């Protein structure tokens, strides 16, 4: 079975979860779904394994044709969608007849990325162990790039029949003002940050810069006091350190500009990392609207962050088993 791309939207890519793990020392961040929760839930609804490859559609506005009957689920940002002109709901499995056309309108928000999971999963070849598109390295997905009109995507054999749906009360909350759970980063210590810097970083509200994408979410420039006057031999600015590995979701202070590292971000660099997004909350990065949404950073402990992940995994498992 195949899907033909009639209209690709502004950036539609094949993504999976957890992406390419084990290649950080070679300069690869994992790539994979920017909203890993929506991808996993979508897959669970159509009877796939939670990490199977699906489509990530930034801002919606896409049109696909299915050559054979298929079961799909739309998750992520709210969007008006039709199959052959008939409206279809999100967050539940829906059938597309052979030759049917799935059309997505524009995702007006809250939320930014729509996911289309298809029973059987998108069956592009694995590259370095994953199907996820990594545009920075031009690999994975379809030729390492966003989809174009006329691309034809192979779909795998459905693993099992599924007609899942997700109760409204269980849906992740999509908002325009986000609370983002973060764990202290390696440089959240008095050697680097002044006390008032900590207060500022974790109390003010930040705006998601319009130059935000899968490599990272840029926040507003903010001059800090800093505990030291410069970066010593690593560079003149106190945010500079001798280059080290970055965690996925790390919030680095790039000079005066905080950047939250997304799934296509750089694996290392020479800026302090003051906080790290809890893995369970990484999905929110995928739903933040560039140039519009606001964020408040909410500190949690490692244990609290891991408890959030356990809760989230349990939800995915429950939907998958239903």
Q: 150-189: which residues touch another protein (CB under 8 A)?
A: 183-189
Out of 6, 63, 106, 137, which residue is the one contacting another protein (CB under 8 A)?
137
Q: HEC profile for 219-275?
A: CCCCCCCCCCCCCHHHCCCCCEEEEEECCCCEEEEECCEEEEECCCCCCEEEECEEE
**Does the protein bind another protein through residue 196 (CB under 8 A)?**
yes
Q: Which residues contact 172 (CB under 8 A, 6 or more apart)?
A: 37, 38, 283
Site for another protein in 197-256 (CB under 8 A): 198-200, 202-204, 211, 215, 221, 230-237, 240-250, 254-256
Residue closer to another protein, measured from CB, 196 or 317: 196
Q: Please name the residue ranges forming H helices in 46-160.
A: none
Nearest residue to 212 (alpha-carbon basis) of 265, 252, 250, 274: 265
Which is nearer to another protein, 10 or 221 (by Cβ)?
221
Residue 270 makes contact with another protein by CB under 8 A: yes
Distance CA 146, CA 304 (A): 36
Half-sphere exposure (Cβ direction) of 84: Cα atoms closer than 13 Å: 9
d(CA 194, CA 199): 9
Please work out the total of residues on this chain that contact another protein, with binding judged by CB under 8 A.
75
Q: Which range in 7-15, 92-100, 102-110, 192-200 contacts another protein by CB under 8 A?
A: 192-200
Task: Report the distance separating Cα 278 and Cα 275, nearest Å.
Answer: 9
Element (H, E) at 307: helix 302-321
C-beta of 93 vs 241, nearer to another protein: 241
Query: Does 105 engage in binding with another protein (CB under 8 A)?
Result: no
> Smallest gap, in angstroms, from Cβ of residue 173 to another protein?
20
Asked if 11 is part of the footprint of another protein (rule: CB under 8 A), the reply reads no
Taking CB under 8 A as the criterion, the residue among 91, 269, 283, 293 binding another protein is 269
Tell the smallest beta-carbon distance from residue 129 to another protein (Å): 12
Tokens of 219: 């926040």
Between CA 16 and CA 28 the distance in angstroms is: 15
Beta carbon nearer to another protein, 77 or 261 = 261
Residues 274-303 contacting another protein, CB under 8 A: 275-279, 298-302
Shortest distance in whole angstroms from residue 77 CB to another protein:
25
Q: Which residue has the tokens 């500190």?
A: 299
Closer residue to another protein in complex, CB, 94/259:
259
78 vs 135, beta carbon nearer another protein: 135
């Amino acid at each position: 079975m195949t899907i033909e791309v009639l209209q690709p939207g502004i950036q539609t890519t094949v993504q999976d979860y957890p992406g390419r793990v084990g290649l950080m020392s070679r300069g690869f961040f994992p790539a994979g779904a920017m909203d890993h929760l929506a991808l996993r839930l979508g897959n669970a609804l159509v009877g796939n394994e939670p990490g199977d490859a699906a489509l990530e559609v930034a801002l919606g506005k896409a049109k696909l044709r299915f050559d054979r009957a298929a079961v799909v689920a739309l998750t992520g940002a709210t969007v008006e969608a039709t199959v052959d002109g008939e409206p279809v709901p999100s967050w539940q499995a829906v059938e597309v007849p052979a030759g049917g056309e799935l059309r997505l309108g524009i995702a007006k928000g809250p939320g930014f990325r729509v996911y289309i999971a298809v029973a059987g999963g998108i069956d592009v070849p694995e590259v370095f162990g994953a199907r996820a598109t990594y545009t920075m390295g031009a690999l994975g997905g379809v030729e390492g790039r966003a989809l174009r009109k006329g691309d034809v995507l192979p779909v795998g054999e459905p693993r099992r029949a599924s007609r899942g749906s997700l109760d409204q009360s269980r849906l992740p909350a999509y908002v325009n003002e986000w609370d983002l759970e973060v764990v202290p980063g390696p440089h959240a210590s008095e050697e680097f940050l002044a006390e008032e810097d900590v207060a500022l970083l974790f109390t003010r509200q930040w705006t998601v810069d319009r130059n935000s994408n899968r490599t990272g979410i840029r926040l507003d420039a903010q001059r800090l006091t800093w505990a030291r006057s410069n970066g010593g031999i690593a560079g003149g600015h106190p945010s500079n350190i001798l280059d080290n590995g970055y965690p996925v979701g790390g919030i680095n202070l790039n000079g005066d500009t905080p950047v939250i590292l997304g799934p296509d971000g750089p694996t290392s660099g020479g800026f302090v990392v003051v906080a790290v997004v809890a893995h369970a909350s990484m999905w929110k990065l995928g739903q933040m609207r560039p140039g519009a949404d606001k964020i408040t950073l909410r500190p949690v402990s490692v244990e609290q962050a891991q408890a959030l992940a356990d809760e989230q995994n349990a939800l995915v498992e429950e939907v998958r088993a239903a």
